[in-house]
């Protein structure tokens, strides 16, 4: 009886011990450390933060997992968590309420994830946070008030991200940086503020001037992990250290041009120039009335620091190119515009050799395009400007080598579109537009190919399918059938004649007919050609009858 009671007590102790052990996520390890209970999930396939984690955990470490986001309420019932390490995962999104219920959080490490931005106001829920590690992400911007809720932060790592420009106000607005600057703080021991900003693609122009000055004058308690910050751009500053570079103040673009009024003759080449000075370097764009139809080359080069030259090249100018050309330079500070007027005059005509000179025909600038295309039709659009002030009529030609007729349409003044229907599918056409009574010249035509007909393609696909099936059936005929035909008392020719009905026109067969041993089946015209096959069949029949009579 005593032994039974002893075993019963052992079972109770065992059950009580197992009941006392907290839950651990499958595939992860749980351990007791000096600061409390720890959950470690390394190289475990976790797509989200495990739910219903024990409140006893002081540290959660999830690394090398497919974790891709931190949704709102990810850490419910974990109010005592102090260390959250989520390094080398695929986290690309942190929702605004993701850090709620973490009032005791001291460390947040997100190294090696895919964050493009961080919801900085989410740190309102973590007032005791001291360590924020965001290195090796893809963060490309830092708002001026990013650190306003990180008053107790002592370590900030933003290295190896994609930061190009950061305002010094980010640090001037940081409460942890403002503490030592306040009156009466000189005698107090202030914790060091360690900041890592290296290995970012810094663009050292006027926008970074404040941060460069801040880095140059930085003193305790702020400590840079690597004080050798290097400029990545622009080209004139690439490779320079922050301590070596001098940056100018930002300014709106200022534009100038050698000539605001340009006059040329028809057929001459002309280059319009626009010089812009700005900081940061400006972006220059050209606009003019016929930019949708007349596309010209634009050459932009840097003539010095914060200075750019843009050239619009117009080859063989036409009367239609006359007008105002606007050069617009813009940067992050503002934009400016300058108008250049181009006047294209008609070419000078040579005086007539005699009084019986023939008047010359008029000419026009014509740009013809296909704007919409279907299987059986197209929609044409054109820009046509005649040299003469009178309203001109135009002639549209649409022809093809495969089409029987050429379509000729007379177009009146004020019309610049025409739809052509009833074209052959999958056919090459040429459309030309010229002045009424004149043949089309070079550059006044456009070549196009109509689309494929879906019904025709279906028919060809069905024919191909039937051909493939027929070949498979022929290949599936037993070899013995061919052997029987070759070893029989008659030749393959006679076997074919006896099997095929006598009709006035024998059906044609595929060229790839199966050969017989004596070769007669391969060469017999009855299986290769319709007309000749019938005549040869009749001749063979008469020859067979003569042999039977003999």
Sequential DSSP letters for 488-543: SSS-HHHHHHHHS---SSPPP--SSPPPPTTSHHHH-GGGT-HHHHHHHHHHHHHH
* Token pair belonging to 41: 């999930």
Question: pLDDT tens across 313-354, in order?
Answer: 999 888 888 999 999 999 989 999 999 999 999 876 545 444
* Token pair belonging to 268: 């001459």
* Token pair belonging to 318: 């036409």
Tokens 């009886």 sit on residue: 1
Question: pLDDT tens across 503-538, in order?
Answer: 444 444 444 444 443 443 333 333 333 444 444 444
Q: How many CA atoms lie within 13 A of 528 on its CB side?
A: 14
Question: pLDDT tens across 445-502, in order?
Answer: 988 888 876 555 455 555 555 565 565 555 655 555 444 444 544 444 444 444 444 4
Task: Quote the pTM value.
Answer: 0.62
d(CA 276, CA 354) in angstroms, rounded, equals 54
pLDDT at 501: 46
- Measured at the CA of 210, the angle between CA 207 and CA 214, to 5 degrees, comes to 145
What is the sign of the dihedral through the CA atoms of 88, 89, 95 and 99? negative
**Domains by residue range for the chain, with CATH:** 24-180+191-244 (3.80.10.10), 251-345 (2.60.40.10), 365-450 (2.60.40.10)
d(CA 432, CA 446) in angstroms, rounded, equals 6
Tokens 């970074």 sit on residue: 208
pLDDT < 50 regions, the chain:
1, 4-20, 187, 350, 352-360, 457, 481-486, 488-539, 541-544, 547, 550
Pick left, alpha or beta for residue 55 (phi over 0 → left; psi -120 to 50 → alpha; otherwise beta).
alpha
pLDDT at 181: 62
pLDDT at 531: 40
* Token pair belonging to 183: 């009156």
Residue ranges of the alpha helices (H) in 204-294? 209-216
* Token pair belonging to 12: 């109770």
pLDDT at 367: 80
pLDDT at 354: 43
């Amino acid at each position: 009886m005593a032994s039974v009671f002893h075993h019963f007590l052992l079972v109770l102790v065992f059950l009580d011990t197992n009941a006392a052990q907290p839950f651990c996520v499958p595939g992860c390890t749980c351990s007791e450390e000096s600061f409390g209970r720890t959950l470690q999930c390394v190289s475990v396939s976790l797509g989200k933060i495990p739910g219903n984690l024990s409140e006893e955990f002081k540290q959660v470490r999830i690394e090398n997992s497919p974790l891709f986001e931190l949704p709102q309420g990810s850490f419910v019932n974990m109010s005592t968590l102090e260390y959250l390490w989520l390094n080398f995962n695929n986290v690309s999104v942190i929702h605004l309420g993701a850090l709620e219920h973490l009032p005791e959080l001291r460390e947040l490490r997100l190294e090696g994830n895919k964050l493009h931005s961080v919801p900085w106001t989410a740190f309102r829920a973590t007032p005791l946070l001291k360590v924020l590690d965001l290195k090796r992400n893809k963060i490309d911007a830092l708002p001026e008030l990013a650190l306003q809720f990180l008053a107790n932060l002592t370590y900030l790592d933003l290295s190896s991200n994609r930061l190009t420009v950061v305002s010094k106000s980010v640090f001037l607005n940081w409460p942890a940086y403002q503490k030592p600057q306040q009156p009466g703080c000189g005698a107090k021991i202030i914790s060091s503020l360690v900041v890592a900003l290296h290995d970012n693609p810094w663009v050292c122009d006027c926008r970074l001037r404040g941060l460069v000055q801040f880095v140059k004058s930085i003193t305790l308690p702020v400590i840079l992990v690597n004080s050798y910050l290097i400029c990545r751009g622009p080209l004139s500053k690439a490779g320079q250290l922050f301590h070596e570079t001098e940056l100018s103040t930002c300014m709106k673009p200022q534009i100038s041009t050698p000539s605001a009024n340009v006059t040329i003759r028809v057929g001459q080449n002309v280059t319009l120039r626009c010089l812009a000075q700005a900081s940061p370097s400006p972006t220059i764009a050209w606009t003019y009335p016929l930019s949708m139809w007349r596309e010209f080359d634009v050459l932009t080069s840097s003539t010095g620091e914060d200075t750019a030259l843009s050239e619009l090249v117009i080859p063989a100018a036409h009367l239609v190119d006359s007008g105002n050309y606007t050069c617009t330079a813009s940067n992050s500070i503002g934009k400016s515009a300058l108008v250049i007027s181009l006047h294209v005059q008609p070419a000078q005509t040579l005086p007539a050799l005699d009084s019986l000179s023939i008047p010359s025909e008029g000419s026009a600038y014509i740009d013809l395009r296909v704007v919409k295309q279907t299987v059986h039709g197209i929609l044409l659009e054109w820009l046509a400007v005649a040299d003469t002030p009178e309203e001109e009529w135009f002639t549209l030609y649409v022809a093809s080598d495969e089409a029987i007729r050429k379509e000729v349409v007379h177009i009146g003044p004020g019309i610049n579109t025409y739809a052509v229907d009833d074209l052959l599918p999958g056919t090459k056409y040429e459309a030309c537009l010229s002045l009424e009574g004149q043949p089309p010249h070079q550059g006044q035509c456009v070549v196009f190919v109509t689309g494929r007909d879906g019904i025709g393609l279906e028919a060809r696909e069905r024919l191909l399918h039937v051909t493939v099936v027929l070949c498979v059936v022929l290949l599936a005929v037993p070899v013995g059938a061919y052997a029987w035909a070759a070893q029989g008392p008659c030749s393959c020719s006679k076997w074919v004649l006896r099997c095929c009905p006598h009709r006035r026109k024998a059906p044609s067969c595929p060229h790839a007919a199966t050969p017989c041993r004596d070769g007669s089946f391969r060469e017999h015209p009855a299986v290769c050609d319709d007309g000749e096959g019938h005549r040869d069949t009749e001749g063979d029949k008469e020859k067979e009858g003569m042999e039977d009579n003999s």
